[in-house]
Amino acid sequence: MQINDFIVWGLLATVVVYLIIIYNHLVALKHSVSKAWANIDVLLKQRHDELPKLVETCKQYMQYEQETLEQVMDARRSVSDAQQQGDLGALGQAEGALRLGLGGLFAVAEAYPDLKADDTFQHLQARITGLENAIADRREFYNDSVNINNVRIEQFPDLLIARLFDFNAHDLLEFADPELSDLNIKTLFD
């Protein structure tokens, strides 16, 4: 073999190793997005299981607030449906409605001193608030993972490997506008 053959084989080996590194990195990013979504999914399911308990506890005290309670349960169903369908757009809308409903429920609960003093209510309120905070944290991590993935599959030379092996972009998890705006508590008491 001549020295030129060694150079060609060396360059070819370097290119192959580089492409393998790119592929493996893209696989890691894809699984990072999946893991981030799984973390959100677990928290959504935990919250889904806690909401009926909260509504039942509230029903014992809030006989005249059925509309508020139904709004929370309808939003819960919408979140569950969107989650099962894997529709992030619908999930974002449903999450916004659910958070608005929960905010309204907790605000209305202020008018019921017996409810506020109930140990079960206090526990469920703290649990759901903790889950909401955890969902927000995991949502941020998920969106960061999605952003890194989406940028990498559009950059050259990763773009070539991403297209060759069908690595896809993912959607960000964005909540609906109602969650982003301030809750006007005064309207809940009018």
In the chain (190 residues long), the average pLDDT of successive 10-residue segments reads 86 94 96 95 92 86 79 90 87 88 86 84 90 93 96 94 94 70 45
The domain total for the chain is: 1
Give the per-residue pLDDT at 190: 41
| ∠ CA 179-182-187, rounded to 5° | 110
Give the per-residue pLDDT at 110: 84
| ∠ CA 168-143-173, rounded to 5° | 85
Give the per-residue pLDDT at 189: 41
Give the per-residue pLDDT at 180: 45
- Asked if 46 contacts 131 with a C-beta cutoff of 8 angstroms, the reply is yes
| ∠ CA 135-98-84, rounded to 5° | 70
Residue 26's domain spans which residues?
A: 3-188
Give the per-residue pLDDT at 115: 84
Rounded to two decimals, what is the model's pTM?
0.78
Give the per-residue pLDDT at 177: 58
**CATH number of the domain enclosing 116:** 1.20.1440.20
